[in-house]
Amino acid sequence: MSLLQEFKDFAVKGNVIDLAVAVIVGGAFGKIVDSLVKDIIMPVAGLIFGKLDFSNLFIVLGHVPPNYQGAMTYADLSKAGVALFAYGNFITVAVNFVILAFIIFLMVKQVNRLRKSAPPPAPAAPPEEVVLLREIRDALRQPASPS
């Protein structure tokens, strides 16, 4: 029974729950960035460079079967089992990575800036006994006044 209790304690710790939330939000954010790259950035880049669909940029490495009747697209050739060097898909994934890395960099930079700008907490006031003892010490240090 102690193993179950240990697992329960581990699973409900704040760090594990925070990590789970971060993974879920990160997955959703990754889909947003994928859509941004696929639907907005790559078509504009394709318009500039003259190729509208980077996913169909590939080099055929293997032999196309002689009885192959499909289109000469990446998806169809992959289904037919033809070996392909798909550099267009790599370009898309690399752009996704650069955008995600840049956004994470900006987020970490902001968090670090917020941490630095927060003033350090004021030191706690010493207990009343310590203040009283310091007053007594200071009074004893003063030379006795001549009368």
Cα–Cα distances (Å) from 97 to 17, 90, 91, in that order, read 26, 10, 10
pTM for this prediction: 0.52
pLDDT in tens, 39-72: 888 788 778 877 656 777 888 888 888 888 888 8
- What is the number of domains present in the chain? 1
DSSP letter string, 104-127: HHHHHHHHHHHHHHSPPPPPPPPP
Residue ranges in the chain modelled with pLDDT below 50: none
Contact between 89 and 55 (Cβ < 8 Å): yes
Three-class SS state of 63: coil
| Cα angle 92, 94, 100; round to 5 | 105
CB 42 within 8 A of CB 92: yes
Question: Tell me, what CATH number does 99's domain have?
Answer: 1.10.1200.120
End-to-end CA distance of the chain: 80
Asked if residue 69 belongs to a domain, the reply is yes
Residue 137's pLDDT is what?
92
Query: Does any domain span residue 109?
Result: yes
Q: Note the pLDDT of residue 118.
A: 67
- Spatial separation of the C-alpha atoms in residues 56 and 25, rounded to whole Å: 30
**145 in a domain, yes or no?**
no
Q: What percent of the chain has pLDDT over 70?
A: 93
| Domain span at 26 | 2-140
In a domain, residue 63? The reply is yes
Assigned domain for 146 exists: no
Q: What is the mean pLDDT of the chain?
A: 82
